[in-house]
Amino acid sequence: MAKIMIQGTGSSVGKSIIVSALCRIFKQDGYSVCPFKSQNMSLNSYITLDGKEMGRAQVLQAYAAGLQPESYMNPILLKPTSDKKCQIIVNGKVYGNSTAMEYHNMKLEFRDMLKNHFEKMEKSFEIIVMEGAGSPAEINLRDRDIVNMGMAEIVDAPVLLAGDIDKGGVFASLAGTMLFFTKEEKNRVKGTIINKFRGDVDILKPGLKMLEDVIKVPCIGVIPYFNLALEDEDGAVEFNKKVTAPIDIAVIKLPHISNFTDLDALKSENDISVRFITSTEEFGNPDLLIIPGSKNTIEDLIKIRQCGLEACIKKYSNSGIIIGVCGGYQMLGKSIKDPYETETDVGEVEGLGLLDIETVFEREKVTTRIKARSNVDFPMTKNDGALEKRKLDVYGYEIHMGICKYGADAKPLFKLIEKNKEKVNIEDGALNAKQNVFGTYIHGIFDAIDFREYIANRIRENKGLSYKKSTIYEDLREKEIDKLANIVRENIDVGKIYDIMGIKR
C-alpha cells in the first residue's frame, strides 16, 4: 500500500482540492485510492449512507476517488459553536462538547484509534491520499499533533508541502514552515507545490531554484489559478456580495453559518447569482432569500434581530420567496427553545413568526440520509416545454437537534419516504398558505433537480424569463472533477509523486 500526505503552509492554501485532484488522477491511472483526514474543523458536514457525520471536504475527495463517502475518511470532525468551544464528532457520532484546551488535552486519546483506522484502510486500498490541517508549523501544538506531522509519523507517510502564491509571500511561507520542522520532519518532506499561480511560470523559475537551494526540497509543480464549480475549503470560500447574473439570490450570512455547500447546486445555474448579506444596507430586492443552516441557531437569530435584518425579512415575506434550511427553517417559526443548553445558555427566543411551527432542541442529534416527496403539487416543465403539476422528488440529509411541532396554520412541505435506506412516512418542513415561505431540515435540497428547477423557473416566470431545464448536479460535479485532475496532472510531476510513494510505473 502506498501513501502520500498533502500539508500546507496555512489554512485555505488548497490542500483539500489538491487531494481531490490526486484522488481522481490515481483513479484514472487504475489504482484503488481513498482520501483520509484524521481531524477536520468545519461547519460544513455531511451524512453518510449509514447515518454518520463527516466533513464535506472528504466527501468531494471520496467522489473524486470513485467512492461513497464514509466516516473513516474523516474520523474526527470539530464543529465550532463559539470562539472557544466546539462539538466533537468521532467516527461519525457526537462524542461531546469541549473547550479548545479540553480537546487539546484529550487528543492523544485518539492516536491508537486513528492508527487502527489507517491500518484497515491499508488493507483495502492501493493508495491513500492524506490531508493535513492548517499549518504544520504550529510548534505549540507539536507534542499532541494528530493531523499534520504527528499523523504522518504515526503511519510513516511522505509529505508534500503546498503554498498559496496568490496570497503573496509563498517562498517565505514555505521556507518558514520548513524552518520550524525538526530534522526528522524535514526529512519527511519530499517536495513542494506552488498553488494558485497567475502569470508566466518562466518568471517564477529563478525563485523556485533559490527556494530549493534554501530548503533542499524540490518543487514538483506549479498549479495555476482556476475557477471550477467545486466546493471550496471552509477557510477559502469567498462569500460573494455582488449580483452577477439575471437572477439575484440573497443568503443571510449567519455568524455561525453551516452547510453553505447547500448553495453550490444553485450556483451551477448560469443565470443565477448567489450573494451573501450581513446588513440591511446589503439586503436590496432579491428574487429569493435563503436563511441557511447554523451551528448556533438562537444566537444567530438574536444577531439578525439586533442588526435590523428581521424587519427586512418580514417586509420581504409579503411578496418575496423565502427558503429556510435547518437552522434557517427553525428561525422562520414562532419560537425556539433550548432546555438542555444544547447550543447556548439562552433558554428560549421568539422566532420570525413566518411559519406556524415551534422548535425544541433535544439532547440527541438526528443524522440521517433521506429521500422525500413534496406534499404539494408544483408546476414543472415537461420535455416538450408544457407545464404539468406534480409532486417533487428530493433527497439529501438531516443534521439537527431540534424537533419542530406544527401549528394549525402550518402545512408540511415534504413527506420523508426513506431514512437511512428504511421506508418511513414522516412529515418534514413547512409551507405557508401563500406558498412563498418554505422551510425544511433537508440539507442538499437544491442538489435534487426537481426542487432546484421548480424554484429557478418560478423566479424566471416572475421576471419574465424563459423556463429552463436544470442540469443534474452530480453529472456536473463529475465533469468538474475531471477538469481539475487534468489541470493538476498537466502542471505537477505525477511521475515524481509515484516515485515518492514507491510505485514503479
pLDDT in tens, 228-242: 988 866 555 668 899
CB 32 within 8 A of CB 126: yes
Residues 210 and 275 in one domain: no
C-alpha cell of residue 467: 423556463
The active-site residue out of 117, 256, 400, 443 is 443
Q: Which of 212, 230, 248 is the last residue of a domain?
A: 230
pLDDT tens figures, 290-301: 999 999 999 999
Q: How many angstroms separate the CA atoms of 300 and 309, rounded?
A: 11
Residues 393 and 435 in one domain: yes
Number of domains in the chain: 2
pTM: 0.94
State the average pLDDT over residues 306-330.
Answer: 98
Is 256 catalytic? The answer is: no
Query: Hey, CA dihedral for 167, 260, 403, 255, is it positive or negative?
Result: positive
CB 189 within 8 A of CB 217: yes
Residues 385 and 424 in one domain: yes
Work out the number of other CB atoms within 10 angstroms of the CB of residue 153: 14
Range of the domain at 137: 2-230
Q: What is the bridge-based pairing of β-strands 219-224 and 159-164?
A: unpaired
Residues 170 and 246 in one domain: no
Q: How many angstroms separate the CA atoms of 9 and 144, rounded?
A: 19
Single-letter amino acid code for the residue at 232? D
Whether residue 196 is predicted with pLDDT greater than 90 in this model: the reply is yes
Provide the pLDDT for residue 379: 87
Contacts from 347-355 at CB under 8 Å and sequence distance 24+? 349/298, 349/301, 349/302, 351/301, 352/301, 352/310, 352/313, 352/314, 353/314, 354/313, 354/314, 354/317, 354/322, 354/432, 354/437, 355/324, 355/329, 355/410, 355/430, 355/431, 355/432, 355/437, 355/439
Residues 194 and 272 in one domain: no
Residue 503 lies in a domain: no
Residues 298 and 436 in one domain: yes
CATH number for the domain spanning 333: value is 3.40.50.880
Q: Which of 230, 262, 295 is the last residue of a domain?
A: 230
Whether residue 150 is predicted with pLDDT greater than 70 in this model: the reply is yes
Provide the pLDDT for residue 383: 73
State the average pLDDT over residues 159-173.
Answer: 96
CATH number for the domain spanning 30: value is 3.40.50.300
Is 312 catalytic? The answer is: no
Residue 275 lies in a domain: yes
The active-site residue out of 86, 326, 400, 404 is 326
pLDDT tens figures, 328-368: 999 999 999 999 988 888 889 999 999 999 999 999 999 99
